[in-house]
Amino acid sequence: MLTSLDITSLSFSFILNFALMFCFTLAEAQIKPALASSYFDAFPFERQGRLYELLGVNVYRWLLKVCGWEMVTRKANPVKRTMVALRQYERATRVSETGHTLIALIVMSVTVYVLVTYSAFDAIWLILSNLLLNIYPILVQRYNRPRLREVINTFQAMSTSRVV
């Protein structure tokens, strides 16, 4: 008999993801890593965003708006048109991507365990929750960051030209 928190259940999948998100948020707030790796720079295939658009990133972004998630995040971190705010927002994309990547790897490990121990059917909630709660958020950050950096560079060029 399966319980509601069985490793193959929907509730386990969500609790695992949100518990890991909570732990990452606490750790990041204490450690404040630089996250200055070139990994966060756009790879050539990412600059135009076409691959992410084909993978449905804009549909996912629309779903975030519809469910109210974007309103929640904008209230907590409003986007202002200042260089400081834009740089903070750009760093937030790196933090978010890092957290979702680490969580995705942990959830994938649990998923492999369930696949080996149980079955592919039993792993479905872990697979779906990881896709929706981690993989797509990573894709959104990878899609948004090159555009955000372009805005920052434009802002910087405009402020430099005014000084001269």
Residue 164: the pLDDT is: 53
Band of the pLDDT at 1, cuts 50, 70, 90? Answer: very low
Least confident span in 30-39, 80-89, 138-147, 155-164? 155-164
**Res 78 pLDDT > 80:** no
Average pLDDT over residues 9-13: 96
Q: Stretch 89-96: mean pLDDT, rounded?
A: 95
DSSP-assigned states of every residue in 124-137: HHHHHHHIIIIIHH
Q: If you average pLDDT over residues 68-89, what whole number do you get? A: 82
User: For residue 25, is pLDDT > 70?
Assistant: yes
For residue 118, which phi and psi values (nearest 5 degrees)? Answer: -115, -100
Task: Report whether pLDDT(51) > 50.
Answer: yes
> Does position 84 have pLDDT exceeding 50, yes or no?
yes
What is the average pLDDT value for the chain, to the nearest integer? 91
| For residues 29-48, average pLDDT | 93
pLDDT tens, 100-129?
A: 999 999 999 999 999 999 999 999 999 999
> Which of 2-11, 59-68, 98-107, 137-146 is the least confident region?
2-11
Q: Is residue 8 scored above 70 in pLDDT? A: yes
Which of the two residues, 54 and 163, has the higher pLDDT score? 54
d(CA 83, CA 103): 30
DSSP per-residue letters across 62-117: HHHHHHTHHHHHHHHS---SSHHHHHHHHHHHHHHHHHHHHHHHHHHHHHHHHHHH
| Residue 72: pLDDT over 90 | no
